[in-house]
Structure 1
Amino acid sequence: MPNRTRFLGKTFAAAGTVAALALATAVPAAAAAPSTVEQDVAQLYQYVSDLYNGLPADALRGVDRLIESPIPQIGPRSRAAQDPIPGCTEGSLLTYANKLAAQLTPLENQAMSALSGLSQLYVQGVATDKAPQVFGTDGQYTARATDTIRKLRDFWDIESWNIQLVAWKGTDLGSQAKMAQTFSLGLAPAKVKNAATLATKVLYEVPALQGGRHPLLSLNAFSAPADSLGGKRVALGDGLLDTVDFLGFDDVSVEAVVGHEYGHQVDFAHENHPRNESSEMGPDAYGGYFVAHPKGFGWDSRTQQEVTYLDASVGDCYHSHGTPDQRKAAGAWGEKQATSQGNPNRIIPSATMIRKFQEEYPKLMPPAAATVAAARG
């Protein structure tokens, strides 16, 4: 089975695992050395790595996260493989996430990597909207999230009854039952109980994790297609909502993020899988159209502009998700489609919206030579 464990930069898993194995072989079985936090974290990382490598080959296919995590991740490999774009400054949300990650010690970083990977797998493959969903660390976004998904299902002309909206909560890591269900997705059955117990233990013995409330554990959102693990769903992370609130976008956070992630469902429904920045900029445009349209939220120009600034905040500089300027432009283009159409009550068919944006997309992408020249001034 191919190894689907992803490492960005240098991680501490290898060193930690080797150290744990060395200790295990150096001590007689009858006098096992007492457990340490370092050993626990290294062992948990190995369990989560084994879990991901034991998943079916198509389990993570097509899952599209809002941002690339600033911490080393266990899971699908990043699409970003090019050097940074000259003259580009990443969005404010990414800048803040990187700042949080830089504050972690190597041990905390490894624990965060293992538990955030485990948390994402729980919300993708185990969680279900058949159970009551609570959005926000204190449930403060639940009504808005419920209202947004209801409007989106009515708005776009795609099969929507089976698109779940699920809450991504770091505190779910504290449930051994939920973690056992998650490890059962791909870990050897004999290891599941010990792995689940260890996950909850590490969550509480590494203080920086804040018992599951550290934003980086759920600082993301994602959309998954029908043929991936867990089926069609949109996941909304508490850590993302907290961070967006901190950055001043609370007025539009839930609606803009869920609108964007639902935009991926629009693409999935039409088998539109572009391998360039339009894969993220398109959902920005569809989300902009939705929030500005009278049959969506019908927001005024000031609020529409706030959405485009939120779009820009998740822009990167690696030819991956679109730069801040490109993301902002895509959202603004979508909003303009709603405010300038002759019949304000008409909703453009989703297939037409995709085609129109793909025609517009090249205009939003400055030629590489011009970008370099502008950077050199």
Structure 2
Amino acid sequence: MPNRTRFLGKTLAAAGTAVALALATAVPAAADTPSTVEQDVAQLFQDVVDLYNGLPANALRGVDRLIDSPIPKIGPRARAAEDPIPGCTPGSLLTYADHLASQLDPVESGALSTLSALGQLYVQGVASDKTPQVFGTDGQYTARATQAIDKLRGFWDIESWNIQLIAWKGTDLGSQAKMAQTFSLGLAPAKVQAAAALATKVLYEVPVLQGGRNPLLTLNAFASPADSLGGKRVSLGDGLLDTVNALGFDEVSVESVIGHEYGHQVDFAHENYPRNESSEMGPDAYGGYFVAHAKGYAWNSRTQQEVGYLDAAIGDCYHSHGTPGQRKAAGTWGEKQATSQSNPNRIVPSAKMIEKFQKQYPKLMPPAAEQPAAASVAAARG
């Protein structure tokens, strides 16, 4: 995989410049200087830019979030880099997230994008499962998440004892101690305490952030390989779980998302880092295999179909993670691998599953002209 740290630093820097300009234009004409809040957000942007630029070279190697962020110019991928696929309709999850983001003014968008990026670094490089992890804004998904990771560790034939499952919580941004630990990952020591205090200040002085409970702060999930910052882990955002629940996927949400992210660990274990849509569609397939398998969750055909709809809901139209139709097709293929086995209890070795999917992958990539019909599945479900 290419080193994305420098790219992310440049992306954040570009975002900081854009927001600084937006903040300037947002100030009333009669005002001579920006408000304190606007100044705080602009300074925090710069602190986070400096933090990312100071990270070790391999800090973000292999880390790729479940969806492209609805907040512009944040994350390892920039959607503006390519035009959308003609005729493609984004999945319902992305449509919903984009709607939330569209309601933000420049100051709010700047604060959200900065703090979301900061929160991701906390979850990836500081947080640890040695402390109790609470999944869901009110802990409502903790038992399901714990059961899912335990099942996955016993299902796939990869080293699993050191794969941490971490809760990504926006409220962690309210702890100056946690933010100081995060800034210490790459910011100059003399600036750490002030930056940490500013992060918590911005969290509470921008009302739309809801003290860390705005779903956009944590509307994602990601997996990290052994040689990246923080080592092997699967991170699950409260905002993602809340949003998926709002869209009607609560029955399968936790298990499907963790199964997908653990699928990245399957790829990492075999040094499989595709540079195309199969990097996300492969884990969809492995996750589908797991939830349908007799030794996984053994979900019935109706529940498997619900997983397929969720896969479609996550699809995008930017040649990055796969369209809704492609994501659904990958997950459905994985489910069929489990339900069509002559021996329902046999688990295909992970290396063999990767090989099987890579052979199938070209067949799951229909021409652009065929995609709208497939993509409409997600739109109808949402």
| TM > 0.5 | yes
Matches within 5 A, 1:202-351: 202-351=202-351
Mapped partners of 1:258, 1:3: distance in 2: 27
1:65-124 Cα shifts (integer Å, max 9, x gaps): 100101134453448843211211000000000000000000000001110000000000
Partner in structure 2 of residue 16 of structure 1: 20
- Relative distance call for 1:370 and 1:4 in structure 2 (3 A) is closer
Mapped partners of 1:361, 1:208: distance in 2: 41
2:124 partner SS: helix
Partner in structure 2 of residue 181 of structure 1: 181
Residue 121 (structure 2) pairs with residue 117 (structure 1): no
Conservation of the 8 A alpha-carbon contact between 1:308 and 1:328: yes
Partner in structure 1 of residue 360 of structure 2: 360
Q: How many residues are paired up?
A: 363
1:256 partner SS: helix
**Bigger Rg over Cα:** 1
Structure 2: unaligned runs, 5 residues or longer: 25-32, 376-382
Structure 1: unaligned runs, 5 residues or longer: 21-32
1:251 partner SS: coil
| Identity over aligned pairs, percent | 79
Q: Match of 1:7, as an amino acid?
A: T
Q: Kindly state the Cα deviation for residue 319 of structure 1 after the two structures are TM-superposed.
A: 1.0
Matches within 5 A, 1:151-190: 151-190=151-190
Partner in structure 2 of residue 98 of structure 1: 98
Mapped partners of 2:371, 2:141: distance in 1: 39
1:98-152 Cα shifts (integer Å, max 9, x gaps): 0000000000000011100000000000001111000000000000000000000
- Relative distance call for 1:108 and 1:347 in structure 2 (3 A) is same
Mapped partners of 2:183, 2:131: distance in 1: 20
Mapped partners of 1:373, 1:142: distance in 2: 37
Q: 1:7 aligns with which of 11, 15, 37?
A: 11
Conservation of the 8 A alpha-carbon contact between 1:129 and 1:165: yes
- Relative distance call for 1:131 and 1:327 in structure 2 (3 A) is same
1:291-336 Cα shifts (integer Å, max 9, x gaps): 0001000000000000010000000011111110110011010000
1:244-297 Cα shifts (integer Å, max 9, x gaps): 000000000000000000000000001111111111111000000000001000
Q: Kindly state the Cα deviation for residue 186 of structure 1 after the two structures are TM-superposed.
A: 0.3
Please, what is the CA RMSD of the aligned residues? Answer: 2.4
Q: Kindly state the Cα deviation for residue 9 of structure 1 after the two structures are TM-superposed.
A: 12
Q: Kindly state the Cα deviation for residue 165 of structure 1 after the two structures are TM-superposed.
A: 0.3
Mapped partners of 1:50, 1:8: distance in 2: 9
